[in-house]
Amino acid sequence: MDSIPSPSPPHPAGRSTEFFHGARDTLPLLLGAAPFGLIFGALASASPLGVAGALPMSALVFAGSAQFIALSLLGSGASVLVVVFTTLVVNLRHLLYAASLQPQMARLPQRWRVLLAFWLTDETFATVHHRYTRDDDAPFKHWYTAGSGAAMYLNWLGWTAAGAWLGAASPALTHLGLEFALVATFVGIVAPLLRERPGMAVALTAAAVALAGRDLPYKLGLMLAACAGVAVGVWMDGRRRPAPVGETR
Amino acid sequence: MNWSLWAVIAGMAAVTFAIRYTLFGLGGRLRFAPRVQQALRHVPVAVLTAIVVPMVLLPDGRHWDLSWRNPWLAGALASAALALGTRKLLAAIAGGMAVYLLWRFGLGLR
């Protein structure tokens, strides 16, 4: 046994090791995203987007839930602006992730920030966030993030392509109720969040406003519902823990 | 694919990247007040609920269907129960789909 403690950690992981570990640690989430990508591809092939549009959308947008919502909006004949604005609202949650990872990005060159921002998803954030909370001075952590992002990206593209091919080969598949997969996914994401305090009030408000405003043009009902839900959440936070003035994080 | 679909893809890509990149690009020069962060935390629940609830309660987009025979409602309730019980998203999706398909095709309800 070596008796002399080394001044720095013996082997700070190299670039390729970090990259590989990032991809490896994302593996369970890749499996979770697979059916999602498959279903997106299949639904897209039966939508106005078509087989030809499925892969470009996955390659350029790379945001699963927004892509699903875009499909249902396009199916109901929504305009370009409505789809883009809805995407904006649905993806706002990524601001939270970006804010949380920001300190790690400040020391990287811009090209790295661009790449890692493009690959920032719910899954990669979950993986990377975990990694960043332990040993803080590893020099090539951004390679870990890149490994996770690259794995998610290739996984998403692959399953989108497979789904589009499957949907085109047997169009009957999409009439088998795949459209319910979106609902099942969203319910699965939201239900556990309702246990935390204002979650239920936020959800009930959003649901009530969405139902009341469902016939408004331009999907305004959805926008109003999202805003009302968030407003109620903020109001309840304020009542529960009054005046977070001067609070430092 | 016509131009408007390409416009949709380009627009979605632009806003998504802008959201993900803005804070990274600015480095440490912009930070959110804790209150704004708190507000953002409510966005997923509000948005996803607002999308799902009308789809589940008015499956055809026009008529309320609150009966047990509604496969959308049955599937959604199953997904919620599984998500809460198992804490596994995959189980919630698979189980909800199974119930939905059973209601729709197995029981021939719709």
The CA distance from A17 to A28, in Å, is: 19
pLDDT higher at A225 or A170: A225
Under a CB-based contact definition with an 8 Å cutoff, are residues B2 and A48 in contact?
A: no
Q: What ipTM does the predicted assembly reach?
A: 0.87
> CA separation (Å) from A178 to A184, A212, B84, B96, B108?
10, 27, 23, 11, 17
Q: What is the pLDDT of residues A30-45, one digit of tens each?
A: 887 888 898 899 989 9
Are residues B43 and A230, on separate chains, in Cβ contact within 8 Å?
yes
Q: H-helix or E-strand containing A24?
A: helix A15-25
Residue A137 C-alpha from the chain's centroid = 27
Are residues A184 and B84, on separate chains, in Cβ contact within 8 Å?
no
Residue with tokens 């609902």: A183
Which residue is closest to A82 within chain B, CA to CA? B8
Are residues B93 and A105, on separate chains, in Cβ contact within 8 Å?
no
With 0-12 CB in 10 A as exposed, 13-18 as middle and 19+ as buried, what is B81? middle
- Measured between CA atoms, how close is A166 to chain B, in angstroms? 19
Q: Which of A74, A184, A225 is closest, CB to CB, to B46?
A: A225
Are residues B8 and A74, on separate chains, in Cβ contact within 8 Å?
yes
Are residues A120 and B20, on separate chains, in Cβ contact within 8 Å?
yes
Residues whose CB falls within 8 Å of the CB of residue A221, separated by 6 or more in sequence, listed in order: A209, A210, A212, A213, A214, A215, B50, B54
Question: For B23, how many CA atoms within 13 A lie in the half-sphere containing its CB?
Answer: 19
Write out chain B residues lying below 8 Å of A83, CB-based: 8, 11-12
Q: What is the pLDDT of residues A139-194, one digit of tens each?
A: 888 999 999 999 999 999 999 999 999 988 887 766 666 678 778 888 988 898 89
Which pair of structure tokens corresponds to residue A96?
């939270």
pTM across the whole model: 0.78
